[in-house]
Amino acid sequence: MLVDLSVKVSKAASGNALDNEKMVSFGHLGTHFDVMNKEFPLEFVKREGLVFNVREMKDREILSGDIDMSLVKENMFVAFYTGFIEDEGYGTKKYFTEHPELSNELIDLLLDKKVSIIGIDFAGVRRGAEHTPKDQYCADRGVFIIENLCNLDKVLNGKKHEFFVVNTYPVNFGGMSGLPCRVVGEI
């Protein structure tokens, strides 16, 4: 079964996003990855995926102890389901300013494991002034962040974690810090 993990951007959601976040632009609208000043390697198009259910982690950063790090392998697409995009809705001010965050420790452990992609169902692995530098930090280590995923609960199907195949197709733009993409899970 195929599951579209890309948020559908309507005219209204696009307007809300543009009104509420200065970084939302052509390359950063909807589901996208922050390529920063790098090129997306074609071998990243299809990856073994692993999604973790961290929905219960509220009012604090998501830590490595919240997931089973032993399941994470090199070259994986590792995603985090918080339910934030479904609860808050894409494009609101709260969506861009009060979203969950991955701890720096968790991000570093994922980088140490040499994952390919970190996927999240919210606006950034870090908030505010930490957002862009952390995206660059990851990109400099060959790992891309895909923001604004949705439907990860359909992959999980009530489980704590689930393996699946992830297909990511970025638009072939050059010279942009963000690339819109279609992300499709195979379960």
Q: Which residues are within 8 A (CB) of 37 and not within 5 positions of it... i.e. 6 or more apart?
A: 136, 139, 177
Q: Which pLDDT belongs to residue 23?
A: 47
The kind and range of the H/E element at 170 are strand 161-170
More confident residue, 24 or 186: 186
Q: Which two tokens stand for residue 5?
A: 């993990």
Per-residue confidence (pLDDT) for residue 148, from 0 to 100? 94
Structure confidence by residue, pLDDT tens digits, 43-101: 999 999 999 999 999 889 999 999 999 999 999 999 999 999 999 988 788 988 999 99
Q: Exposed, middle or buried by CB within 10 Å (0-12, 13-18, 19+), for 174?
A: exposed
Cα angle 173-178-184, degrees, rounded to a multiple of 5: 85
**Nearest of 71, 102, 83 to residue 152 by alpha carbon:** 83
Q: Which pLDDT value is given to residue 12?
A: 55
108-148 pLDDT per residue, tens: 999 999 999 999 999 999 999 999 899 999 999 999 999 99
Residues written for the chain: 187
CATH number for 2-186 (one of 3.40.50.720, 3.40.50.2300, 2.40.50.140, 3.50.30.50): it is: 3.50.30.50
Give strand pairing partners of 102: 62
Please, are residues 38 and 113 in contact by the beta-carbon 8 Å criterion? no
Q: Are the C-beta atoms of 177 and 34 separated by less than 8 Å?
A: yes
CA separation for the pair 136, 143 (Å, rounded): 9
Residue 24 pLDDT > 60, yes or no?
A: no
Whole-prediction pTM value? 0.90
Alpha helices in 6-65 (DSSP H): 11-20
For tokens 């995206």, the residue is 135
- Stronger pLDDT, 28 or 74, i.e. the higher one: 74
Mean pLDDT, rounded, for 32-51: 88
The domain ranges of the chain are 2-186
157 pLDDT band, cuts 50/70/90, is very high
Instruction: State residue 75's pLDDT score.
Output: 98
Contact (CB, 8 A) for 148 and 32? yes
* Predicted local distance difference test score (pLDDT) of residue 55: 97
| Torsion angle, alpha carbons of 77, 160, 64, 169, to 10 | 20
* pLDDT of amino acid 11: 55
- Tell me how crowded residue 132 is: count the other CB atoms within 10 A of its CB: 15
Query: Is residue 149 classed as helix, strand or coil in its secondary structure?
Result: strand
